[in-house]
Structure 1
Amino acid sequence: MPLVYYSVPKTKQEELTQYRNEKNEWGKWITSSVVKVIISGLLLSLLFQGMLASTLSLVIGSHYSETISLLGFTVGAAALAGIIQGIRWAWEPFLATKFGQYSDGKYGRLLLFVAFLTIAGFTFLLIPFAFAIYIWLAVVLTGQVSATILTTLSDALASDVAKQTDRNRVITCYTVFLDIGAAFGPLISYMIMSLHHGIIMTYMTGAVIIFSLALLWSVEYLRGRWRPSIKKKISNPV
């Protein structure tokens, strides 16, 4: 009986102490780096998973027609949009792995991140305008390649900051905001498209957002943050 008396309150006290410690630490993991990564992931998800994916067939139909002749085949606008999306999912496992490994090198992730943000920004500037179909497709596919690489690098940056704070909370919050961006992307896109010159306005808005992110991360790079530490190689003694 004395053992029960002393052991039960102790267990309850430990649980209470742990709860208080977790409560006091709540919010300490929300650093400026975490906020920047989460906002970047949210906006990229909104633009690529939401805006581009949901409006691509509409843009194709407005530029050309509901049926397009490619390489001797007639393809519908919705089918062509689906093919473009399918091509991205086909190369994504290989391209994402390659650039993820490359970003782990001595030059780090930010330079790549800023470079492909800039490329993606220019593709958003060009997509709402009609060119020859093959040139326009090249622009869109370039944007899709950029989307794959940016998604990979954004995930890697989220993993980097998660290691420095609270991994579970950062990754959970980051994932939730990615889903929010993908969900609200189509809604926001079609709200803008209801305006005059809606398609142009939609993609110009996307371009401004992407260039703003490129500027933000350029400043981070120039400040010398996020650069990986290069470990000196130690030769094994003979």
Structure 2
Amino acid sequence: MNRSNQSSVSNRTINLEPFPSDQDKEQKSRVIRIALLTALCIPGDLMLYIVLPLYWEDFGLTAIWQIGILLSINRLIRLPLTPLIGFLYRRIHLRTGIFIAVCLTLVTTLAYGFAQNFILLVCARALWGIAWSLLRLGGLLTVMTSSNDQNRGYLMGRYNGLWGLGGLVGMISGGVLISYVGPQGLSIGLTALAFCSFFLLRGMPAQYVTEENNPTARAHALSHSSTSDQIITTRWWRQRNVFFVLVSGLMMSIIVFGIFLSTLTVLIDENISTFLILGMVLTSTALSGLLQAIKWSWDPFLAPWIGKLSDNLFGRKKLIIFAFILGSLFLLMVTFPLDLWMFILCIFAFQLTSTMIVTLSDSTASDVATNSSKIGVMTSYTVAVDVGAAIGPLIAFFIIEQAGVQPLYWLAALIYGALALMWTRYKDLRPEH
């Protein structure tokens, strides 16, 4: 890269307004649209993580072990199907795949309230697994095709933060409204909400995903050592950086989307019986929904800011190591005998690190995919995240049944510490700022 091009890249990276052109504004609008569409589709899924651990009988379940199956089957079904969906996205428009996902979402969300049978609920959760694979992979590919090295972290943070608003709706509705309207009323309301996503789908362009590598990142890598030449020419599934993002995505997902998401209600129930706020007594279910809803509410603001920091100033590697270390610390602290407000503060702090880790992990996976195989790497990364989210609840409830909540969170803290150590060996091939 010549001196003038280097100067141009530098000017772009310190520009406080990352979307100066009409094309950039259109790309940002595309990312926001797919993020909001996803947000309208996921409340039914997130609601179950709050209500099933305590209201499982209201959904027609007959044993506690069925909770773990229902919270995992949607992710297990994605393991063999996600590569097929990645193959499908090579041949259809992104908009077509997302349309199918929305239709499946309507069916599954309505079924949650009216199935009242374990087998039927398993089928509904399996269909949701297909819908989420189409939504998630379609969303990640939309971000990748709408970004470059100077704004990828920012747009990934914007995408993750906005679709997380659906989690805010799901957590609040599950934690607060379930005792008033029951499973049927809740599923009808969330199905109506998901139907609104069709209005956002209409404005999305029909777009295919190409496998062209990022020329800037490739030139940067080739300007280094012969090792970089080998990285570029090696098949994408054998590249060292691909290994890093896949292992990181797997283990991060086990803890964030598996263990923590499915057991927060149990953790609170073991530490706090009731919680009084503004004269209202909240149950552990309502408090769990409130705490996670607050987390989803700050993501639209915090995740883009974290992504922008990793684009411009600190880089992905330093920030993700820092986040894993902090996350490990707070996972340990929630197992200590803490007073009420210190316990809640530790939960908030861990959720803050989760926002950082998910944003940085997704952004790094996009960096690697852009320099190798967009669909190949992102499909594999999605599968890795799905594996972690699928086995997380199974591991969690097995350990809780055998040893309790405390050893479970000790194990999670140990995993985070190991990930922080692993990331010290990561080699960043993005252009230097």
TM-score w.r.t. the length of structure 1 is 0.79
- Give the corresponding residue for 1:44: 252
> Taking every aligned residue pair, what percent have the same amino acid on both sides?
34
Distance 1:71 1:116 in 2: 33
> Partner amino acid for 1:63?
N
Among candidates 69, 80, 83, match of residue 276 of structure 2: 69
Unaligned runs of 5+ in 1: 1-24, 232-238
**Correspondences of 1:122-133 after superposition (within 5 Å):** 122-133=329-340
- Structure having greater relative contact order (Cα 8 Å, sep ≥ 6): 1
**Correspondences of 1:156-235 after superposition (within 5 Å):** 156-196=363-403, 198-220=404-426, 225-226=427-428, 228-230=430-432
> Partner amino acid for 1:178?
V
Look at both structures and tell me which one has the larger radius of gyration over its CA atoms. 1
Structure 2 counterpart SS, 1:226? coil
1:30 corresponds to 2:238: yes
8 Å Cα contact 2:295-2:351 kept in structure 1: yes
Distance 2:389 2:364 in 1: 19
TM-aligned CA deviation for residue 107 of structure 1: 2.6
- Give the corresponding residue for 1:98: 305
RMSD across aligned C-alpha pairs, in angstroms?
1.8
TM-aligned CA deviation for residue 91 of structure 1: 1.1
Over residues 163-212 of structure 1, what are the superposed CA-to-partner deviations in whole Å (9 max), with x where a residue is unaligned?
2211110001111221221122111111111223x211100000000000
8 Å Cα contact 1:106-1:230 kept in structure 2: no
TM-aligned CA deviation for residue 155 of structure 1: 0.4
Distance 2:429 2:369 in 1: 16
Q: How many residues align?
A: 201
Distance 2:338 2:391 in 1: 29
Distance 2:369 2:236 in 1: 12
8 Å Cα contact 1:50-1:183 kept in structure 2: yes
> Partner amino acid for 2:389?
A
Distance 2:350 2:248 in 1: 17
Structure 2 counterpart SS, 1:219? coil
